[in-house]
A and B are shown apart, each in its own frame.
Chain A
Amino acid sequence: MTKQVQQLDRVIIRFAGDSGDGMQLTGDRFTAETAQFGNDLSTLPNFPAEIRAPAGTLPGVSSFQLHFADHDILTPGDAPNVLVAMNPAALKANLGDLPRGADIIANTDEFTKRNLSKVGYAGNPLEDDSLKEWRLHAVPLTSLTVKALEGFDISKKDAERAKNMFALGLLSWLYHRPTEGTIAFLEAKFARKPEIAKANIAAFQAGWNYGETTESFSVSYEIKPATHQPGTYRNISGNQALAYGLIAASVQAKLPLFLGSYPITPASDILHELSRHKHFGIRTFQAEDEIAGVGAALGAAFGGSLGVTTTSGPGVALKAETVGLAVTTELPLIIVDVQRAGPSTGMPTKTEQTDLLMAMFGRNGESPVPVLAPATPSDCFTMAVEAARIALQYRTPVMLLSDGYLANGSEPWRIPEIDELPDISVRFTTEPNGEDGTTYLPYQRDPETLARPWAVPGTPGLEHRIGGIEKADGTGNISYDPDNHDTMVRLRQAKIDGVDVPDLTVDDPDGGARVLVLGWGSTYGPIAAAARRVRAAGHKVAQAHLRHLNPLPANTGEVLRSYDKVLLPEINLGQLAMLLRARFLVDVISYNRVRGLPFKAAELAAVIQDVIESD
């Protein structure tokens, strides 16, 4: 039977199942095949905080969404074209996001009376008419897998567990994915259990063959590779990019990296990744708590390391006092906040942009710190290097605001050449800087950057004391002098205000737009995708995105004032809007949704259009 092949320009697939079904792994493998094939892509994992919620229940559903295309795309997609539902819970939890006409591939083996009643289905939706508006492919994934693995010397349970590879094989056939990478991956993953490796590969191939032979799938799809700029690419998640950025910063600064960290979702993967690269001279320290994590990083910075701490919002709250100490001792330090839904424990696996004001102001006293935010998963690499540049050059703690969406999402990344990376090396002070040629003044400042010298223990003749008590300008000795305090407060502020950051650039391809849509952090993709839709519908809109939030680019006010309206979508209740209104007296229009999920492009396109049309 010759099957029809249809050309598509883009597809959105969502794999959904029980959190024990291996959906994240399945999604990761499909992503790797897709990256290898050369499509542009963007991914969004969505998983429960519970490691193993009760099987078959709605809270236990884990999903992975992948958007891939023959052109440059910006988001993991609003609505899936295909849902792979491994059980009734996965169907029920995701059906609401599925537009009419989309494909559903459902594992019929799991649609038992018991599983159906667990999630409140009175009847079997695969057998009544309730799914008639979708294209349903009812496939007994589990039993087909078990049957395919009959000849293998493995338990029934192990055979059943390979059903995700059967599903992956089927989808790989459906979308013409290359299979070599997955086979090599399975061989490596189960190198110590060759029988399991062979079984998983057999299940994967059985899934592929099933697609080719079954009548349930009459069409397969081709999505041509995207045209990227020349270079070598890899797929990378935000947390991995951030970890690599920190390593690159250590190499480019010629300083050993010291990470002090306490495990916390969704930041722990940065700790895990850095722990694997000790041959770069990296020391990772899993501390007893968040405070010790940042404290150890600051102590290491005093000793001449590139000190880093990684955490999420609750951890930043705990670290605040130590960050204040870093502000006043003027030591370089990077605080990575992978933001998650709050307040308090909130929703640890869900994304949010609600820590901006905490990063800006969440300390006692006047304690300014630079604040940066990457725009996309791969941008986490660039901004980690940028955070190190600012921390080292200005001797200051720097807040780097990633979030759960960037951390776990992934996209293709053109790997930079090493010589494209900035040289951020610093020189320790080794000679006295006092006028008499013998004294060392730890708070004498560089006239341009206002940074103080950095003399590390072990340097003879420069013994000095620093600390949290106010210091006399120049000598650093304890001082309670009123005018000195006023001077020091202003100097610390002036130093941060003077941090060199690039201008804000505006994207207005048609020219003459009167509405600017502004964003920061992980909303870049959805905002840019929305702006494209609005332009495609014949409207004009300009887009700008802030990656430096403190200090703001020097031209920010000018940019804001040159548009009739400024729209600012944020996944918070208007935190950046508050700062911009206070600073520039511009009547920013906020759009806020705090659902723990990224914005959808269609949603933002409608909002932009509303703003353009309302007068």
Chain B
Amino acid sequence: MTDTLNGKGLALIPRTDAKQTLKDFKSDQEVRWCPGCGDYAILAAVQSFLPDLGLRRENIVFVSGIGCSSRFPYYLDTYGFHSIHGRAPAIATGLAASRPDLSVWVITGDGDALSIGGNHLIHALRRNVNLNILLFNNRIYGLTKGQYSPTSEIGKITKSTPMGSLDKPFNPISLALGAEAGFVARTLDSDRKHLQSVLRQAAEHRGASLVEIYQNCNIFNDGAFDTLKDPATRDEITIKLEHGQPIVFGTGDKEQAVRLSPTGGVEVVPRAQVADSEILVHDAHNPDPSLAFALSRLDEPAFQHVPVGVFRSVDRPSYDHLLNEQVQAATTDKGTGSLADLLHGGDTWTIS
């Protein structure tokens, strides 16, 4: 049976014993996001978390598309490829499929990943390419100065939609689960501890990991996630998913719980009204993604409740692993290819 590298997602990547610090991962380039942008917090969190992985720096690659977030690779002193709009998952696929010894990270945004690059995203996920895809979702186009994005709420007033946007947004978590992703998580730019914990789990998952990071664009969509950050509201909205734990949130008389709903999904009910046995226990390793999908629908209508954490973490063989297995099987079967034998294969005749 194929070894899925269960629980040892970093096993093929060379490690270092040398002590690394945040400084080792800072490039000499001046960071050029708008002051107050949520990207700064994510960059700092990534730079300070990477040393903990203990990987050789030269075996880490950041690949990005186009958009504000896609400048990310320039600010990290690893290998980096700032590519073109929407195509980062495709480019990273070729890199990861041919180089199993690399830890490959894709940095993308809601426009880059879900609009122009939607096709590449879903296919990278279903193939289970060994990538960590960080989707910075600010629900707006920033670099092109403020048009609505595929995650903007219906009715969004922007320069391109003065009478309000018409299209229903994507829920990136639902989309990723529908695309057969093995690892799907959500976190928040401002919660460094949670962000780093999710990134670590993503890194250690061999195969495609999708992490949606809510990221505030303080210029074009400021405060989009304020209800998740405001101490007055956040506890009633945020559902922190933890594997093996009953799904309860809120405090005191506002404590709530999640249970199966009669309509086939899940629902939020006051904690006091449900027996302990009725409360759903989160199982991120459930091979059936149905409950994870149901949980992803709890923020419908938008932001009524927002689950964060790891929705799903299920191992299956990664694409590079299967591809290299075929190469090895063919080599075992036929021996290492001989060019002379290949060219002389088939019907030949000799003239002397």
Contacts and interface: CB of A to CB of B under 8 A. Distances in A.
Interface in A309-329: 321-322, 324-325, 329
B83 A468 contact: yes
B303 interface: no
A303 B84 contact: no
A584 B265 CA distance: 72
Nearest to B129: A296
Contact of B98 (A228, A231, A303): A303
Interface in A458-505: 458-469, 477-478
B1 interface: no
Contacts of A32: 347
A597 to B, nearest CB: 28
Contacts of A292: 87, 90, 93, 119-120, 123
A289 interface: yes
Given A36-B347, A229-B351, A463-B77, A458 B119 contact: no
Interface stretch (A73-81, A119-127, A277-285, A554-562): A277-285
B87 A465 contact: no
Contact of A281 (B95, B327, B329): B327
Contacts of A279: 327, 330-331, 333-337
A595 to B, nearest CB: 33
Given A285-B93, A295-B94, A298-B91, A467 B82 contact: yes
Contact of A463 (B78, B95, B343): B78
Interface in B74-117: 74, 77-84, 87, 90-99, 101-102
Interface centre among B73, B327, B334 (most CB of A within 10 A): B327
Nearest to A455: B79
B342 A244 contact: yes
Interface string B54-90: 0011110101101000000110011111111001001
Interface string B243-273: 0000000000000000000000000000000
A234 B93 CA distance: 37
Contacts of B160: none
A465 B94 contact: no
Contact of A283 (B92, B98, B123, B339): B98
A338 interface: no
A325 B340 CA distance: 36
Interface in B312-338: 323, 326-327, 329-331, 333-337
B334 A35 contact: no
A169 interface: no
Contacts of A54: none
A260 interface: yes
A467 B73 contact: yes
B231 interface: no
A300 B98 contact: yes
A296 B81 contact: no
Interface magnitude class on chain A: 35 or more
Given A232-B349, A233-B351, A322 B58 contact: no
B233 interface: no
B339 A231 contact: no
Contacts of A230: 351-352
A465 B78 CA distance: 8
Contacts of B58: 457-463
A464 to B, nearest CB: 7
Interface centre among B14, B82, B323, B326 (most CB of A within 10 A): B82
Contact of B95 (A38, A247, A302, A415): A302
Interface in A236-283: 244, 247-248, 251, 256, 258, 260, 277-283
Given A295-B120, A296-B90, A303 B348 contact: no
B340 A418 contact: yes
A257 to B, nearest CB: 10
B335 A296 contact: no
B98 A278 contact: no
B330 A322 contact: no
Contacts of B335: 279
A140 to B, nearest CB: 32
Nearest to A417: B340
B350 interface: yes
A460 B56 contact: yes
Nearest to B103: A457
Given A247-B337, A300-B94, A458 B81 contact: no
Contacts of A469: 82
B81 A302 contact: yes
A457 B99 contact: yes
A307 interface: yes
B120 A299 contact: no
B27 interface: yes
B340 A232 contact: no
Interface centre among B57, B73, B74 (most CB of A within 10 A): B74
A457 to B, nearest CB: 4
A287 interface: yes
Nearest to A234: B348
B93 A299 contact: yes
Given A292-B123, A295-B120, A322 B94 contact: no
A40 B90 CA distance: 45
Interface string A78-93: 0000000000000000
Interface in B9-62: 14, 27, 29, 56-59, 61
Contacts of B61: 457
A369 B82 CA distance: 21
Contacts of A460: 56-58
A418 B339 contact: yes
B344 A415 contact: yes
Contacts of B90: 287-288, 291-292, 295-296, 299
Given A232-B344, A458-B59, A465-B73, A258 B94 contact: yes
B128 to A, nearest CB: 14
Contacts of A235: 347
A611 B336 CA distance: 55
A293 B116 CA distance: 16
B247 to A, nearest CB: 35
B346 A234 contact: yes
A287 B92 CA distance: 13
Contacts of B91: 295-296, 298-299, 302
Contact of B92 (A299, A322, A324, A325): A299
A38 B351 CA distance: 9
A301 B63 CA distance: 14
A181 interface: yes
A305 interface: yes
A416 interface: yes
Contacts of A568: none
A333 B84 CA distance: 16
Interface string A127-142: 0000000000000000
B317 to A, nearest CB: 16
A457 B79 CA distance: 6
Interface centre among B14, B93, B333 (most CB of A within 10 A): B93
6 contacts: A35-B349, A300-B94, A300-B95, A300-B97, A460-B57, A477-B29
Top 5 nearest A-B pairs (CB, nearest first) are A467-B82, A299-B94, A296-B94, A295-B90, A280-B337
Given A278-B326, A291-B90, A466-B82, 11 more contacts: A234-B346, A251-B337, A260-B94, A280-B339, A281-B337, A300-B98, A303-B95, A324-B84, A462-B58, A465-B29, A466-B80
